[in-house]
Structure formats: structure tokens, C-alpha cells
Structure 1
Amino acid sequence: MTIDTSWRNAIPILAGALLLAGCSEDRPTKADKVAAASVPGAPPQGAADEAAKNAAASNVSESDELVEFAYAYPVEAARIPELAKALDGDREAKREALIAAARRDKDAAEKDGYPYRKHSHRQRWQRVTSTPRFLSLSAEIETYSGGAHGMQTFDTLIWDRNRRKQMKPLDLFQSSAAFDAVVRDAFCAGIKRAKAAKGIEEAPDSVFAKCPPASAQTVWLGSSDGRYLDRLTVAIAPYEIGAYAEGSYKVNLPMTGALVKVVKDEFARDFLPIN
């Protein structure tokens, strides 16, 4: 078993996830276009500076005959002791769970006489944005547990510097129901456009025809100016709105005035609507 911990490897900037163009009868608004310019927090210029800021603070990898494991987070997170400790704990918990499941499956494979397939977990946290109050991180996770194919999932967190507390983006809103009520139309329209771009039109009786609540997916909050939260992306894992072969989706939504109105009073001053 080898463990490689590097403090100097660069983490690539979170790649831009454009809000895919829709059908002619469902044209994006001006706010949609602004929100779709990039993934929240990705700056329009200065990519080299951003890459330097995202130099890996923790990049742990491990590979042997049983498992392959990798977990990384950026230097901005490492600079916050409480957050770094939480991420280290999350890393160790996921590593232990991976090894335990792999050992069980390997023992079962040997007992029943079929080949064991190495399990894996690869997770990379990346900086979405950093404002005076918040550090917003996103994670893309790839796992494999011996089946027909691997799986991609997502994660999200917000660090509140004022409260010195780790939160989820939806914690900043009055409720998940209030959030869903405001973004539902734009979110469902965004899914429709994204599927149309892949040549997919769901039949009315399809199990995937119903638009799910945005709050049930992974929400990333970002900033265009490094001061206010004014960008929003919803990441959707495979099987949530389509077959595995469709892959994942990332739908950018406008930070409207209506959405800012359902932010909790404590955080309202940290949001900026895009009109």
C-alpha cells in the first residue's frame, strides 16, 4: 500500500458548466444568460491567478489490490483549521467505509469463486468562490463497487466565517420548500433544455418525466465579484432525471430578486440578485 500526500499539486479550477441552450419556445431570459456564463464563482478572466489560488492543500491517494482511494481539498479550506479537521475526518470515514466494503466483497468473491473487482472512491473538493463571509466548495465524486459501472455523485458546503460554522447552501434560505417554490419553473425549464441538447425528450409516462425538487439535488452557490453570492448551479447525478447513459447534468439558475427574498434575514445582505 502506498500513500502519497502532496501539498503542492495544483487543483484545476472547476470547469465551466454552461446552461445549455433550449428549445425555441423556451428561450432563456437575460438573467438566465448571465447565470449561464460560467459555473458560480468562475471568473471571466485571471484564470492563471485562480489556478495558483487552488493549489492543493491536501491531496491524498492510495492504491493497492483491494482499493483505489483519492481525496483532495484546496488551500483555502486548509487555512481554516476547523474546516480542514472536518474534511480530514470525512476523508478518513470514507476511506474506512471503502476498505470495509471491499474486504467483504473480496471475501465473498473468493468464497463463491468469482473474480474480485477493485473498489474505488475518488473525491476532489474545489473552490467555487470566496467572499468576505463565505467560502463555497463543490465536490465531484466517482465511486466503483464492483458492479457493471461506476457512479458519479456531487457534494457541496459553505463555510460561514462569521459563525465559524460549516453549512449547506440551503441552510442560508428560509426553507427547502421556499427555495423550491421560487426556482421550480426555471429549474424544470433548464432540465428540459439540457435534455433537448442531448436529443432527449421524455415521454409523458416516463419514470423520469416528472421534474424533481431542486433542493433534492446538489446546490452550489458562487459569486461573480468575490463580494456577494449571485450565482447558483444545481448538479444532478445520473439516475436522478434520466438513465445512467445520459450522464450527469449541471443546470445554472439566475439569482433573482424573488430568490433573494427567501434568504434568511441573517444572510440577505450577502446576496445580490441579477436582474
Structure 2
Amino acid sequence: MLSLLLLAAAAPVTVAEKSVLLDFRYGWSAEADAVPALRRRFRADASSQRLRGLATAREDRKVRLEMGNPARDWSPHSFEREWRTLGQTPRLLSLEGSTALYSGGAHGNSHTQRLIWDRRLGRELSIQALLKPGTSWQAAIHQPFCTLLSRERRKRLGPDQPGYDPGCPAYNDLPVSLVDTDRDRLFDHVRLTADPYVAGSYAEGEYMIELPITATMISRLRPDYRASFEAQPPVQ
């Protein structure tokens, strides 16, 4: 039975259903639910993902039974997506979406999304839309990320296990999120997430690295967005 838990204002929302075909869960934060456009968007996405997941699982189960696999060996598919608040200012809301799914096979898959919502404009923005024309944060973010990724990879794998090293992922392959680490309603860091297979093997899992938002980066913001940020010392 599909359960839609619509709690009181300032509470997170969860849509959940568990059946022989699909273990489904979709949630979003209270801050996201306070934005009507995001509430509609996530409800619609939850409905779409649920129907898609059921159709895929139903077809997979049918094929397996036709191939002679016992019904007792069937494992339900699963889908879980959670939109969490990473920070907010009076104007901007930063969300991170984490998705984990299993549709048969040796293991599931996961990926990360980011969403920046401008309350004044009533729409989603990219990082680039926050910046002055002709400027970018790429140079300030990508190389420090690659340096810290290399350190973390060596720490995670150990000196005797070089593992699968595809090098540093391209900047465009990395979701970049705005983060308010001290919860003072000002963004002070960016978070870059390399999902499994993006920066290493599946066994290594994801690599999540946060970098400070520096004064140089803030100088590249459009003037009307600068009040939403606070500068931090550069990464060493």
C-alpha cells in the first residue's frame, strides 16, 4: 500500500511503498516542501519514478520466471531518492539529491544531483548563473579537488593497493553543491561528489570533498548574490 506521509509545515516528506516487485522510497526536506514549485516537482518525480520502477521490476520478474528461475529466488527491485538541505539563505536554497537503485544484477547503483533554488526568481539556477558574465569557479575548484581526491584515494586504498585510478574526473562530471557548514545562513563551502565509477572502482564508493568558498570566488559572484556567501581561507 502506498503511504504518503504529508506532515505538518516545517517537516520532511516521505513517499514509501514496499511490495513483492519494488521497495520504493522518495523524500525531500522540510525546506524544499516549503517551496510550492519544488513540492509539485518532487511529488511528480516520485510518481514517475515509482511507475517506472514497477514496470521495470514487473518485466524483469516475468523474464526470470519464464527462464525457469524459482519465484523464491526473486529479489525485489529498489529505488530510493532523498533531497537534503545543505544550506539556505533568505534568497537561496541548496539541496542535494542522493539516489540509490537496484534493478537486478550483482549490485545496485547510485548517483548524486544538486539543486540551487532562487526564491526571489522562483526557479532553479546553475552555479554559473550566480556568477558575473565571463567568469567561472572552475579553476578555483577543480585543481584543489583533484589534489584532495588524490590524497583521499591513497588513504582509502593504502600504499600496497593502487587500485583502479582513472585520474581526476572532468569538472563537468562532478555535481557541485553549495554548503553552509556552520548553519549561519551563509554559504561557506562547495561540495563536489564523485559517484562510484567516476573517480574509482565501485568498491571504493563515492568520493565527497568540500572546498572553502574564498574571497576570490565571492568576487566573481553577481553583486546581488554576494550577501548569501561568506569567505573562508583557501585550502592548503
Please report the TM-score for the alignment, with normalisation by the length of structure 1: 0.74
- Which of 93, 118, 121 aligns to 1:160? It is 118
Other-structure match for 2:168: 211
Letter in 2 for 1:258: T
Match of 2:59 among 69, 82, 104: 104
Q: Report percent identity of matched pairs.
A: 27
Count the aligned residue pairs.
Answer: 228
User: How far apart are the structure 2 equivalents of 1:89 and 1:208?
Assistant: 38
| Cα distance between partner residues in 2 of 1:68 and 1:126 | 20
Aligned to 1:7: 6
Amino acid corresponding to residue 263 of structure 1 in structure 2: L
Q: Which moved more, 1:176-185 or 1:245-254?
A: 176-185
184, 197, 207: which one pairs with 2:155?
A: 197
User: Per the alignment, in what secondary structure is the counterpart of residue 193 of structure 1?
Assistant: helix
Q: CA deviation at 1:239?
A: 0.7
What SS does structure 1 have at the residue aligned with 2:136?
A: helix
Tell me the secondary structure at the aligned position of residue 198 of structure 1. helix
Cα shift readout 1:203-250 (whole Å, capped 9, x = no counterpart)? 6xx863421123321222022353432211112211111111111111
Q: Partner residue of 2:86?
A: 128
Tell me, yes or no, if structure 1 residue 59 matches structure 2 residue 59. Answer: no
- Alpha carbons of structure 1 residues 208 and 196: separation in structure 2 relative to 1, 3 Å: closer
Structure 2 match to 1:35: none
* 1:241 is aligned to 2:199: yes
Specify the code of the residue in structure 2 equivalent to 1:218: P
Compared CA separation, residues 246 and 170, structure 1 to 2 (3 A):
farther
1:144 to 90, 102, 109: 102
Deviations 1:76-104 (A, max 9, x none): 21111111111111111211221121122
Distance apart, 1:175 and its partner CA: 8.4
Q: Give 1:260's aligned amino acid.
A: I
| Kept in 2: contact 1:152–1:237 (CA 8 A) | yes
For residues 126 and 179 of structure 2, the distance between their equivalents in structure 1, rounded to whole angstroms, comes to 13
Q: Is the 8 A contact 1:157 1:169 kept in 2?
A: no
- Rounded Cα–Cα distance in structure 2 between residues aligned with 1:220 and 1:121: 23
Q: Does the 8 A contact of 2:78 with 2:102 survive in 1?
A: yes
Letter in 2 for 1:185: Q
Secondary structure of the residue aligned to 1:178 is coil
8 A Cα contact 1:3 1:60, kept in partner: yes
* Structure 1 Cα separation of the partners of residues 92 and 152 of structure 2: 30
Amino acid at match of 1:244: Y
Corresponding position of 2:232: 274
Unmatched runs of 5 consecutive residues or more in structure 1 = 10-51
The CA distance in 2 between the partners of 1:225 and 1:62, in whole Å, is 33
**How big is each residue's C-alpha offset from its partner over 1:47-76, in whole Å with a ceiling of 9 and x where there is no partner?**
xxxxx96x32x2111011111100011222
Equivalent residues of 2:88, 2:187 under 8 A apart: no
Please say if residues 135 and 158 of structure 1, whose CA atoms lie closer than 8 Å, have aligned partners that are also in contact: yes
2:212 matched to which residue of 1?
A: 254
